[in-house]
Amino acid sequence: MLGPNGAGKSTTMRLLTAQALADEGTIDVLGYRLPRESKQARMSMGVVPQQDNLDIELTCRQILGVFARLYRVPRSERQAAVARALAIANLEPRADTIVRELSGGMRRRLLVARGLIHEPQLVLLDEPTVGLDPQVRQELWSLIDGLRIEGVTVLMSTHYIEEAERLADTVAVMSAGRIIAQGTPAELVGAHAGSEVLEVYGPPAELAELESLATRRGWRHRRSGPAVALLGAEELDGEAPDGVRRPANLEDAFVALTGQEIE
Amino acid sequence: MSTAPGPRRMHRLEPAALAGVMTRDVVLFRRYWKATTFSSIVQPVIYLLAFGLGFGSILKHFGHVKYIEYVATGVVATAVLFSSAFPGMFNTFIRWQFQRTYDALLAAPVDVEELITAEILWISIRAGVYGLAPLIVGIAFGLPPALGMLLVPFIGFVTGFGFAAFGVVVAAVAKTIDNFNYVTSAVLTPMFLVAGTFFPISTLPPTLRAIAHFNPLYHCVALVRDVSLGTIAPVDLVHTAVLTVFAIAMWRLAIWRLGKRLID
């Protein structure tokens, strides 16, 4: 789920765990009807919230142990489940450290490990990399990619286009509570931004002129920082101004779809 | 659609869910037990010593009961009240609003009803045990040990269940944690003073006496005193019934009020 803040991504996540109830319509998760069978659905789901809600006074091992119980992991398998989750999150050396003393990246990995303690079929990741530095984000990406390779279904929300482009098999673009387009990143780019983009740089007055020209000629375009980007540039035979040609990307498609620039 | 491939059916109030939530409480308690135990025991013991020894030097007896025996059995209810209503209010508010623990627990296969029940259950077990502290101190000051005192943790548990749930209700309706001050000064303080703890409610003017009969703590005080001093009478069935009804009513109210705020 790719969308700007306020698009309804977190609300969707809360609806799927029945922590919010829908005013109308029905929701089925893994064949369970919500909210009646929400407990069964949550049993097969792992949830990684956007907001850190770890018990700061407990150690990694204690937190994972508590959640192993909550997810009804049988007593004989609990220790192994905790060890496995610690390994996934690369937290073995910190197993007995209390959360308060962990770095932000470690806490985020522990949140992921907590959601995976019972080997769920479906994992909900709500903006898992928001506010993380680039290196920690990379670590988390490889962790998420690892899940995908194992065959776990991952539903992730993000407002980072790069993240959706790299990790998602299917992207649903959300805006104002609705899915406005859905497909593989390549399909979305092809359908909404063409194959090439022409970026024209220049002084503001020239750019404004180019924008009005583009509007008159019906060229798809957008302001992209210090440049004006013309989408579907491969179709502008010869009439296009000078500029830098580059392959279209998901950001172009996203802006074309939502009319919004995001980071 | 309802032929879901579930591992098994799940019910309301599953022991596994209650145990899971309480495990967290126990793990946390292992970190905090000293501070929690200190505050739950010391305050009632101070009342016991101040009133029992202070007042007791002027006032030797109420009827045929020695004043120290009267206060030691009465303060059990105070200990139970303090160790259930306050955690009910503060723990609930902090875990729900500040630490967002309840959000994390409700994303697991735990229902609102199970979460709140487990939290109240844990507080009331603790309160039942802490209720013994004034008796033990009382025994050191001349309260004769009695077999009936073994019932005190159970009375403390039922009373504590009601007051822990009352605390959850307060947390659910409070806008900020400062609002708790209104409850502490306007509800809890008069409640523990006018419960027959330090003086019999029969000394009160008739209106106030009638009101005191609606105070659950009064029934806890009377019941604890009767089982501890061997003065069990048919009226104790009424006390037990009042405490049980109070506990169940507050429990359901807590689930309803907090449930409304936990689920959007």
The per-residue pLDDT for range B55-73, each reduced to its tens digit, is 877 887 777 888 889 999 9
Question: Residue range B84-101: average pLDDT?
Answer: 94
Statement to judge: residues A38 and A60 lie in one domain: yes
Statement to judge: residues A131 and A209 lie in one domain: no
Contact B6 A18 (CB under 8 A): no
Quickly count helices (H) and strands (E) in chain A.
10, 11
Whole-prediction pTM:
0.90
Statement to judge: residues A178 and A212 lie in one domain: no
Closest CB to A43 among B1, B99, B109: B109
Chain A residues near residue B10 by CB distance under 8 angstroms: 39-40, 43
Our count of domains for chain A comes to 2
Contact B104 A53 (CB under 8 A): yes
Residue B130, pLDDT > 80, answer: yes
Domain containing A223: what range?
195-247
Q: For B222-257, what is each residue's pLDDT tens digit?
A: 999 999 999 999 999 999 999 999 999 999 999 999
Closest CA to A15 of A144, A215, A157, A228: A157
Average pLDDT value over all residues in chain A: 90
B23: contact with A, CB 8 A cutoff: yes
Statement to judge: residues A179 and A201 lie in one domain: no
Statement to judge: residues A98 and A21 lie in one domain: yes
Q: What is the pLDDT of residue B213?
A: 92
Question: Residue range B92-97: average pLDDT?
Answer: 94
Contact B27 A58 (CB under 8 A): yes
Residue B3, pLDDT > 50, answer: no
Angle at B129 between CA B80 and CA B233, to 5 degrees: 70
- Which pLDDT band, with edges at 50, 70 and 90, does B9 fall under? low
Q: How far does the CA of residue B1 sit from the closest CA of chain A (Å)?
A: 7
Angle at A190 between CA A184 and CA A196, to 5 degrees: 135
Residue A125, pLDDT > 80, answer: yes
Could you tell me which residue, A108 or A240, shows the higher pLDDT? A108
Q: For A61-74, what is each residue's pLDDT tens digit?
A: 999 999 999 999 99
Q: Provide the β-strand partners of residue A191.
A: none
Contact A32 B17 (CB under 8 A): no
Closest CB to A39 among B23, B24, B111: B111
Does any domain span residue A139? yes
Statement to judge: residues A123 and A237 lie in one domain: no
Q: What is the pLDDT of residue B102?
A: 96
Question: Residue range B192-221: average pLDDT?
Answer: 91
| Sign of the alpha-carbon dihedral angle for B44, B45, B51, B52 | positive
Q: What percent of chain B has pLDDT over 70?
A: 97
Contact A57 B101 (CB under 8 A): no
Give the integer Cα–Cα distance in Å for B72 and B68: 6
Contact B19 A69 (CB under 8 A): yes
